[in-house]
Amino acid sequence: MVTTSGLFRIAGKLLLLGLLVGLAIVVLYPLLWMGISSLKTNDEILSSPFAMPQALDFGSYARAWDRGVGQYFFNSALVTVVSVFLTTLVSAWAAFGLSRIEIPFSRIFLLLIVGGLMLAPAVALVPLVKLMQSWGIYNTYWALILLYTAFRIPFTTFLIRSYMVGLPREVDEAAIIDGAKTRQIFWRVILPMSKPIMASAVILHVIFAWNEFLFALVFVGDDSLKTLPVGLANLSSRATTDFPAVFAGMAIAAVPMIILFILGQRFFIRGLAEGVGK
């Protein structure tokens, strides 16, 4: 016989299951609709936008690629990869120094880094434009790379430091006894032990850089240098009569992020759980 408390537990589990199913539908349905629409013709999208395509038309992907999506994809990949490398390297070094080494005024440095999280990008647009122009890198890849790196270092440093603080001090002492120097301790001991949080930091930065729109719109003017978010916006305005190509471009932009998260979700969840929870 099921007791009252048992009924409440079953009802709670069913309610939670229903919420999770509803959330999955909300997240997955737009992606599925976008992918299905990219395989339709214009007439099918306009006449029956929610119906399945009568025949799969993959030509929309070729048209989208030829209309600039291929170049936009390369630009986003280049800016993302370089900024990820710079951000994680600098942030890991900073986190190591703030968590594993006794340095003067470390608390002040930590407060300054955390204070960087409060700076809104939109507020700094005008001085940043002047700065990039004075450096001669306005309307170049480096403008976006430096901006993405600078604005993500505070958060990434704070995230990695939260993880490194919880690592046992005994490993540092054992490495010092074995004759290891500070840089060797970082590269050979602490960094390998910090793989989960490093993976989380990389995934979060990739998602940010891949989808960032404001800086990519303001600091890059040439169409050949535009990243996917701005390029797809331009494609949508130009290809007003070719909706399948627009949806195909959106699908091309979304697939790498989906694959990245699926491959790295184990490290991502573990790194955030162990890092933020400390």
Whole-prediction pTM = 0.84
- Domain 68-276 classified CATH 1.10.3720.10? yes
Three-class secondary structure assignment of the chain: CCCHHHHHHHHHHHHHHHHHHHHHHHHHHHHHHHHHHCCCCHHHHHHCCCCCCCCCCCHHHHHHHHHHHHHHHHHHHHHHHHHHHHHHHHHHHHHHHHHHCCCCCHHHHHHHHHHHHHCCHHHHHHHHHHHHHHHCCCCCHHHHHHHHHHHHHHHHHHHHHHHHCCCCCHHHHHHHHCCCCHHHHHHHHHHHHCHHHHHHHHHHHHHHHHHCCHHHHHCCCCHHHCCHHHHHHHHHHHCCCCHHHHHHHHHHHHHHHHHHHHHHHHHHHHHHHHHHCC
Q: How far apart are the first and last CA of the chain?
A: 43
pLDDT of 276 reads 52
For helices 4-37 and 243-276, what crossing angle results, to 10°?
140
- Contacts of 267-273 with CB under 8 Å at 24 or more apart are 267/195, 267/196, 267/199, 267/200, 268/199, 268/200, 268/203, 270/196, 270/200, 271/163, 271/196, 271/197, 271/198, 271/199, 271/200, 271/201, 272/197, 272/200
Q: How far apart are CA 175 and CA 234, in angstroms?
A: 54
pLDDT of 35 reads 87
Query: What's CA 80's distance to the chain center, in Å?
Result: 9
Query: In a structure prediction context, what are the per-residue pLDDT tens digits for the chain, which is 278 residues long?
Result: 556 767 778 888 888 888 988 888 888 888 888 888 888 888 888 888 788 888 888 888 988 898 889 999 999 999 999 999 999 999 999 889 888 777 777 677 777 777 777 777 788 888 899 999 999 999 999 999 999 999 999 889 988 988 888 888 888 888 888 888 888 888 888 888 888 889 889 999 999 999 999 999 999 988 889 999 999 888 877 656 778 888 899 999 988 888 887 887 777 666 666 655 45
CB atoms within 10 A of CB 207: 14
